[in-house]
Amino acid sequence: MSEEETKVEAAAEAAATDDSTTEEAAPKKKGKKWPIVVGVVAVVLIAAGAGFWVWHEQPSFCNAICHTPMDPYLPTYEAEPGQAAVDKWGNDVEDASGMMAAVHRVEGDTCVSCHVPTIGEQVSEGMNWITGNYYYPLEERDLEQLVEARGIEEDAFCLNESCHNLTRDDLIQTTSKLGQYNPHVAQHGEQTCSNCHKAHRASVNACTQCHSEAYVPDGWLSYQQASKLEVA
C-alpha cells in the first residue's frame, strides 16, 4: 500500500471514530435537558396555581365556575353607593348605599372577606354543584346559617377585630342620637344584625314594623316596603 493510500485509510478511520463518538455523546446531551423541562413545567404550574388562587379570591370567580346561583349577586356587589341599582331578586334599589355588599366593596372587601368558607364547606358545595343539588335562586340566609360551619357566634360575623371591632354597647352609643327608636337597644329582645342589615338587597329598618316614624337611612326600606318586594 502506497503512502498516499495509507493516509486516506487513516483519515477514513478517524472520521468513523468521530461519528461513533458523536452518536454516543448525543444521547447524553439530550439526557441533560430533562431537568430544564421539569423546571419549566414546575414554574408554569406554580404560576398558574398562584393566578388561580388570586382569582379564587375575587368576586368574579364566585359566579364564574362553582356558584351558578351567585349570578344575580355579583351586580349587587359591583353597584355604586349613591346610585340606583337592582337587588339580588331584580327589584329596583333607589340607592345602593343600602346594600352592604356594595358598601363593603368600596371599603376594599371581597366576597371572602365576609363569607369565609371552611374546607368542608367548599367540598360540600363543590359536590352539590356537580350533582345539581342546589337552589336557584338561593334562599336568603340569616346569620345563624352563615356562621354555622365556622362554629362562631352570630355577632362575630360582623363584630370582630377584622371588620367592626365593636361591642353591643358600642353600637348603642353609636346610634344613641336616634333616641327612643335606637335600633341597637334590646327593647324587644336582642336582634341579630341580619334582621336589618342586608348585603344583597336594600337594608330594612325593622323598627318600622311597629314604629312608622322611626328613621330610615338613605337607600334603606321600611318594613312595609320590604314586605312588598318580589322574591324571585
Q: What is the overall mean pLDDT for the chain?
A: 81
Q: What does the pLDDT average to over 139-148?
A: 86
The one-letter code for the residue type at 162 is S
Which pLDDT tens digit goes with each residue over 83-118? 999 999 999 999 999 999 999 999 998 888 888 878
Q: Which residue has the higher pLDDT, 17 or 136?
A: 136
Which pLDDT tens digit goes with each residue over 172-215? 999 999 988 999 998 888 889 999 999 999 999 999 999 999 99
In which band, very low, low, confident or very high, does the pLDDT at 81 lie, cut at 50, 70 and 90?
A: very high
What pLDDT is stored for residue 132 in this prediction?
A: 77
Lowest mean pLDDT among 50-59, 90-99, 111-120, 123-132: 50-59
Task: State the cell numbers at 152.
Answer: 362562631
Which pLDDT tens digit goes with each residue over 13-48? 555 455 444 445 445 555 567 777 777 777 777 776
DSSP for 21-63? HHHHHHHHHHHTTHHHHHHHHHHHHHHHHHHHHHHHTSHHHHT
What pLDDT is stored for residue 226 in this prediction?
A: 95
CA-to-CA distance for 36 and 21, rounded, in angstroms? 25
Q: What does the pLDDT average to over 118-146?
A: 78
Integer angstrom CA distances of residue 22 from 32, 90, 110, 140, 211: 15, 74, 61, 73, 95
Q: Which residue has the higher pLDDT, 160 or 139?
A: 160
